Amino acid sequence: MSENRRRTTNAIEVNYLAGGLTIIFLFALAGLFFVYLKNQQHAVGNQSRMIEASLREEEARDDALKAKITSMTSRGALQRRLDDGYITLQAIRDTAIARVTPPTLAEVDGVLRTASHDPESRFGLGAPQRAVNR
């Protein structure tokens, strides 16, 4: 036989190499995505901590303002302002008072009247429709 023959070599099969590289690429991509999500999670956590801290500050400020309003509207504070002449009291005029008559019972059983069926009322059952719509 001839000595010029080609030697057999261990050839790399491209399909196995491509499949392996594809799997490695997908794992690397999944790892990068996981790291990205963890970074986003930490960033959102930091933002929520900052917002919660500012919320606590605003709640404390709101409580301080509520205490100040309560102290300014207390009876003693209003009396001091009245004595200083900062505010004045005026009597309520009789024309500014709304008087409501107590409800009358329709029956002996205690049911309250809900509508008036006064026959002299111009908006009763027999009133013309034009008068009711005005």
Each residue of 24-67: pLDDT tens digit? Answer: 999 999 999 999 999 999 999 999 999 999 999 999 999 999 99
CA dist 114 and 103 (Å) reads 9
Whether residue 131 lies inside any domain: the answer is no
Whether residue 68 lies inside any domain: the answer is yes
Are 74 and 81 spatial neighbours (Cβ–Cβ below 8 Å)? no
pLDDT of residue 132: 46
Give the total number of structural domains in the chain. 1
Whether residue 59 lies inside any domain: the answer is yes
Whether residue 18 lies inside any domain: the answer is yes
Q: Give the residue numbers spanning the domain of 26.
A: 14-117
Whether residue 2 lies inside any domain: the answer is no
CA dist 33 and 37 (Å) reads 6
Each residue of 52-64: pLDDT tens digit? Answer: 999 999 999 999 9
CA angle at 133 for the pair 96 and 102, rounded to the nearest 5°: 40
> Which letter, b or e, does each residue of 114-132 get, where b requires 16 or more Cβ atoms within 10 Å of its Cβ?
eeeeeeeeeeeeeeeeeee
CA dist 87 and 22 (Å) reads 84
Each residue of 98-108: pLDDT tens digit? Answer: 877 765 655 66
